[in-house]
């Protein structure tokens, strides 16, 4: 088996529908339908099919706060990766349904002719749909693993969408909009995880939540706790507790440790002054930086810098 591909940089933001989805999978231009509403935002359907699969690992779609629900309408064999790691190689029956988290850099290698219906569901749209219909606050869709699941309702909705694409008429757009609405309601009701249920669990962060929080803090060492909690779909209080359970450190402690680590790299590898390094690493002043550095490392930053250069601690 080939080595797993590298995970995406997360700097791009993909859209798992229409031409972009087909291009990343190296498939012909698909039939697609996009529904945009003021309240729910964007939802999309794409029907992908070809008798000549590429048999190459798909390109990265980029990071996106969304799910793609795929209903395979014919048997196929495919390999699947997530975050650069190989998950499974399986022969799938027609009608198998997959819930794909677009925050986890999913990629596939398909070895057979392909016919599937893909529904693009941004998390913001699912949350708005849940609120609009008086459902519990939406936190995410359950992970059913790489084997997929049996969902007769999604199979019927996918067949209906395929028929609407095959026989377009004046009302087809309205029908496809209604199918997208039905998919939203069904996915939240059948496979959704309520936010209050997640908050009641005595566990840490889900792997994607921990990874996302750390990525955000690495990119911006001044990010607020409320921003981090919102990105993970949790309350501020629950996020703080869950982060500590997962990492052994409170979020502010983890941020401080990353600031100190970055400062050490800059002290050892640059000619910047200590004041410049303090500001570059998110400290409010040189004295704030010196105090935090001394508490963490045990000596002042200037003395630590001299020790790395000479091998011996300098005075003061």
Ranges assigned E (strand) in the chain: 31-37, 41-50, 66-72, 76-82, 85-92, 97-101, 106-110, 114-122, 138-141, 192-194
How far the first Cα of the chain sits from its last, in Å, is 57
Counting other chains too, the contacts that 185-189 makes at CB distance below 8 Å and 24 or more residues apart are 185/129, 185/133, 186/153, 186/154, 186/157, 187/67, 187/69, 187/99, 187/121, 187/126, 187/141, 187/154, 188/126, 188/129, 188/130, 188/135, 188/138, 189/135
Q: What is the pLDDT of residue 7?
A: 37
Whether 257 shows a pLDDT value over 90: the answer reads: no
84: burial class by Cβ within 10 Å (0-12, 13-18, 19+)?
A: middle
Tell me the whole-structure pTM to 2 decimals: 0.59
Q: What is the pLDDT of residue 76?
A: 86
Q: Region 115-137: what's the mean pLDDT?
A: 87
Residues 47-63 have pLDDT tens digits of: 999 998 777 888 888 88
Whether 82 shows a pLDDT value over 90: the answer reads: no
Domains of the chain in start order, with CATH, are: 18-194 (2.60.120.10), 201-248 (1.10.10), 253-310 (1.10.10.60)
Whether 101 shows a pLDDT value over 50: the answer reads: yes
> Of 20-24, 32-36, 198-202, 209-213, where does mean pLDDT reach its minimum?
198-202
Residues 258-289 have pLDDT tens digits of: 888 888 999 988 889 999 998 888 888 899 88
Beta bridge partner(s), residue 106? 82
Q: What is the pLDDT of residue 133?
A: 78
Neighbours of 163 (CB within 10 A): 11
Whether 198 shows a pLDDT value over 80: the answer reads: no
Residues 6+ apart with CB under 8 A from 138: 123, 126, 127, 129, 130, 131, 188, 192, 193, 194, 195, 233
Q: What is the pLDDT of residue 255?
A: 86
Most confident of 34-43, 70-79, 233-242: 70-79
Q: What is the pLDDT of residue 224?
A: 84
Q: How confident is the model at residue 218 (pLDDT cuts 50, 70, 90)?
A: confident
Whether 314 shows a pLDDT value over 50: the answer reads: no
The share of the chain scoring above pLDDT 70, in percent, equals 89
């Amino acid at each position: 088996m080939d080595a797993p591909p590298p995970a995406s940089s997360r700097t791009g933001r993909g859209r798992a529908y229409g031409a972009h989805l087909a291009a990343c999978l190296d498939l012909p231009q698909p039939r697609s339908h996009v529904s945009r509403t003021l309240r729910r935002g964007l939802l999309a359907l794409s029907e992908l099919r070809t008798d000549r699969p590429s048999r190459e690992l798909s390109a990265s779609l980029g990071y996106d706060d969304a799910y793609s629900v795929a209903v395979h309408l014919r048997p196929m064999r495919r390999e699947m990766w997530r975050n650069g790691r190989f998950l499974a190689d399986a022969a799938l029956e027609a009608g198998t349904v997959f819930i794909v988290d677009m925050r986890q850099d999913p990629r596939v290698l398909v070895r057979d002719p392909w016919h599937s219906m893909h529904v693009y569901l941004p998390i913001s749209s699912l949350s708005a749909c849940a609120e609009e219909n008086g459902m519990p606050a939406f936190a995410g869709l359950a992970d059913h693993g790489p084997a997929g699941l049996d969902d007769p309702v999604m199979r019927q909705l996918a067949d209906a969408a395929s028929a609407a694409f095959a026989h377009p008429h004046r009302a087809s757009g309205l029908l496809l909009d209604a199918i997208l609405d039905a998919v939203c309601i069904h996915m939240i009701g059948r496979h959704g995880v309520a936010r209050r249920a997640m908050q009641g669990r005595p566990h840490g962060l889900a792997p994607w939540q921990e990874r996302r929080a750390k990525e955000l803090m690495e990119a911006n060492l001044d990010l607020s706790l409320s921003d981090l909690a919102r990105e993970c779909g949790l309350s501020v209080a629950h996020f703080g507790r869950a982060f500590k359970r997962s990492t052994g450190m409170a979020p502010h402690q983890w941020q401080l440790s990353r600031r100190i680590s970055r400062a050490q790299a800059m002290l050892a590898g640059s000619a910047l002054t200590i004041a410049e390094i303090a500001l570059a690493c998110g400290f409010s002043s040189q004295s704030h930086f010196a105090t935090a550095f001394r508490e963490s490392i045990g000596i002042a930053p200037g003395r630590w810098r001299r020790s790395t250069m000479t091998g011996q601690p300098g005075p003061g």
